[in-house]
Amino acid sequence: MTDMLLHVVLVLAMPPLLLGVIGKTKAAFAGRVGAPFLQPYYDLGRLMRKGVVFSDTTTWLFRAGPVITLAATLLAAFLVPLGRHAAPISFEGDMILFAYLFALGRFFTTVAALDTGSSFEGMGAAREVTFSCLAEPTLFFALITLTRLSGTMSLTTMLRHVTLSVWFATGASLLLLLAGLFVVLLAENCRIPFDDPNTHLELTMIHEVMVLDHSGPYFGCILYGAALKLYLLGAVFVNVAIPFALGNSYLDWLLFACSMLALAVAIGVVESVMARLRLIRVPQLLVAALILTAFSLVLVVR
C-alpha cells in the first residue's frame, strides 16, 4: 500500500524536477547560475493562474488535445514500475497499451496543432508524427528483447527481471538496448539532438512549435504532460540501467529517485555537448537506433 502511494506521489510530483535538473546542468556547462531547480513548478503554478487566449480558427479539439494527451500519459504512469517496485497496474501485454497510450497522446497533440491552421504548427505536427513512427519500432524491439530475457509479457516483470546477474550474462545485448532506448527517450521527448526545446526560431522546432497557440492552464497541461512522458520513458531506461536492489523498500525508492536525477543530469550533459542534428539527419539516427535494438535481440537469441 505504501509502495503504491509512493508510486503515485513520485509520478505526480517529481517529473517537473527533472526539467529543473536538466536546465541547471545546462546552465552549469554554460557557466551560468541558471534558474532554480524548482523553476518548472513555479512555471506550472503561474500558468494555472493565467488567463487563456484562444485562436478564432480553433474548435473544441484544440482544448481536448492537451487534456486527452495528459489523461493518456497519466494512465501510462500507472503501468511503469519505478525502481524495483511493481507498477500499480500490470497485466499480460500492458507494454503494448503503454506504447499505444503515447500514440493516442500524439494523435491528439498533433490534431490540436493542425486545429490552429498555422503553417508552423502543421510543420511541427508533420515532424512529430514522422519521427515518432520511426521511434516506435525501436521501443518494440527493446520490449521483445526484454520479453525474451525475462520470459514474461508485462512491463513490471520484464523490467524487474533485469538484475546484476542478467547483466553479467547478457551485458552486450543490454548495452545495445540501452543505447536504443536512450535515443528513443531523447527523440520522443524532443531533446537535443532531435529538437531544441529552447530554440528561438519556429521553423526549426518540433514539439514547441506545435503548442505555440496554447496558453494558460491548457499550456500547463502540455508542459506537465511532456515532463511526465520524459519521466516515464526515463523510468523504463533507469530500470534497465540500474539493476541493483538494496533490499530495503525505502532505500530502493531513494535509489530510484537518485538515478532519475542522474539521468536528468546525463540528458543535460548530452544537450550541452551536442549540437542539434539537421532535420534530414534525424531519421538516420532513429533508424540506427532501431538497428541497434534489433542487434540486441539477435545477441539474445544467438
Map the footprint of another protein across residues 212-271, applying CB under 8 A.
212-213, 216-218, 221
Using CB under 8 A as the binding rule, whether residue 49 contacts another protein is answered as: yes
Residue owning grid cell 504532460: 225
Which is nearest to 67 in space by CA: 190, 175, 219?
A: 219
Among 9, 164, 251, 301, binds another protein (CB under 8 A): 301
Distance CA 271, CA 195 (A): 10
Going from the C-alpha of 285 to that of each of 167, 187, 213, 292, the distances in angstroms are 26, 10, 30, 10
C-alpha cell at 85: 517496485
- Cβ of residue 14: shortest distance to another protein, in angstroms? 19
Among 130, 199, 204, 272, binds another protein (CB under 8 A): 130
Site string for another protein, 74-93 (x = CB under 8 A): xx---------------xxx
How many angstroms from the chain centroid is the CA of residue 50? Answer: 26
Among 30, 31, 33, 56, binds another protein (CB under 8 A): 56
Site for another protein in 142-181 (CB under 8 A): 143-145, 147-148, 151, 153
| Part in contact with another protein (CB under 8 A); list of ranges 12-20, 38-46, 70-78, 177-185 | 70-78
Among 106, 160, 191, 207, binds another protein (CB under 8 A): 106
Using CB under 8 A as the binding rule, whether residue 110 contacts another protein is answered as: yes
Distance CA 143, CA 136 (A): 11
Among 104, 166, 175, 257, binds another protein (CB under 8 A): 104
- Cβ of residue 277: shortest distance to another protein, in angstroms? 15
The number of residues that bind another protein (CB under 8 A) is 82
Using CB under 8 A as the binding rule, whether residue 189 contacts another protein is answered as: no
DSSP code of residue 194: T
- Cβ of residue 162: shortest distance to another protein, in angstroms? 15
Residue 170: CB atoms within 10 A of its CB come to: 19
Would you give the end-to-end CA distance of the chain in angstroms?
41
Distance CA 112, CA 61 (A): 6
